[in-house]
């Protein structure tokens, strides 16, 4: 967000966090989950693990 807009509207910057489960040996993404910056990383771990599908 531009600083001028944030100052004018008294807005706070919001961010998205992209969480990845990666197989570093095969260099591929196994699972991905996007959250807001308010969600703690530890809460996403089980979601990532449940989303892994091995082919």
What is the extent of the structural domain holding 32?
Answer: 3-50
Report if residue 9 sits inside a domain.
Answer: yes
Distance CA 21, CA 16 (A): 17
Asked whether the CA dihedral 32, 36, 37, 43 is positive or negative, the reply is negative
- pLDDT reported for residue 7: 75
Average pLDDT over residues 21-28: 93
Mean pLDDT of the chain: 85
Classify 42 as helix, strand or coil: helix
Q: What average pLDDT does this structure show over 1-29?
A: 82
pLDDT at 54: 73
Count of domains forming the chain: 1
Residue 37 belongs to a domain: yes
Helix (H, G, I), strand (E, B) or coil at 11: coil
Mean pLDDT of 26-42: 91
What is the C-alpha to C-alpha distance for residues 38 and 3, in angstroms, rounded to an integer?
21
pTM of the complete model: 0.66
What's the average model confidence in pLDDT over 3-25? Answer: 82
**Considering the domain boundaries, does residue 55 fall inside one?**
no
Q: Is 24 within a domain?
A: yes
């Amino acid at each position: 967000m531009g600083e001028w807009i944030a100052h004018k509207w008294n807005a706070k910057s919001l961010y998205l966090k992209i969480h990845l489960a990666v197989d570093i040996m095969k260099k591929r993404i196994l699972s991905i989950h996007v959250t807001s910056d308010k969600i703690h990383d530890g809460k996403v771990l089980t979601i990532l693990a449940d989303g892994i599908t091995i082919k």
